[in-house]
Amino acid sequence: MNDYESQIAMLYDEYCDVVYKICYRYLHNNYDAEEGLHETFLLALQKQRELSEHPAPDKWLFATARLISLAMLRRNQKKVNIELNLQDFEFALKSEDFENMIVDEYADKSANFFPLLKNEILMKLSDKERLLYTLRYIEKQDVSQISINLKISYTAATTRLQRLKEKIIKLVKQKKL
């Protein structure tokens, strides 16, 4: 172990907890925060000569951890977009026009039906379902935004939306509304 590597080892021993907390503050999950910690110190090893000459190596570590965490967030957002495009393409297409599909398929065509449908649907839903319904079909948020707003995974959001749609269709078909 050379002098640079021993300096990095000392920095790791002293600051790994702080770097982890910085990563966690941005990434909100243990696995990603650990990955951010490892990427930060891997970069420190790669730039050990410059780091040894830096006037405040701890500040360099903190700034690097922040930048790596932000880059990981951007990568994760791209993964969510790819997931939406590939795995949930059919669901997204159906979701965009869900309310119109219910009105067209199950309702009489009177002009007053649509607002009435919304109110009666909302009364039959639980508080969580009502919030989900409002975010998706009234505020027209996409699945990614909903998962962020509800602080749930993207997959959980798609599952809850699918169950909500099935419940609404069932209520309309059974004419319980």
Cβ atoms of 69 and 29 within 8 Å: the answer is no
pLDDT tens per residue, range 121-140: 678 888 888 888 888 877 77
Average pLDDT, the chain: 76
In order of 47, 121, 122, 133, 142, the CA distances from 127 in angstroms are: 52, 12, 9, 10, 20
Return d(Cα 96, Cα 99) in angstroms, integer: 8
Res 172 pLDDT > 90: no
pLDDT, tens digit, 9 for 90 and up, residues 81-117: 544 444 443 444 454 455 555 544 444 444 444 455 5
Contact by Cβ (8 Å): 143, 92: yes
**Which domains does the chain possess?**
3-84 (1.10.1740.10), 88-173 (1.20.140.160)
pLDDT, tens digit, 9 for 90 and up, residues 46-94: 888 888 888 988 898 898 999 999 888 887 775 555 444 444 434 444 5
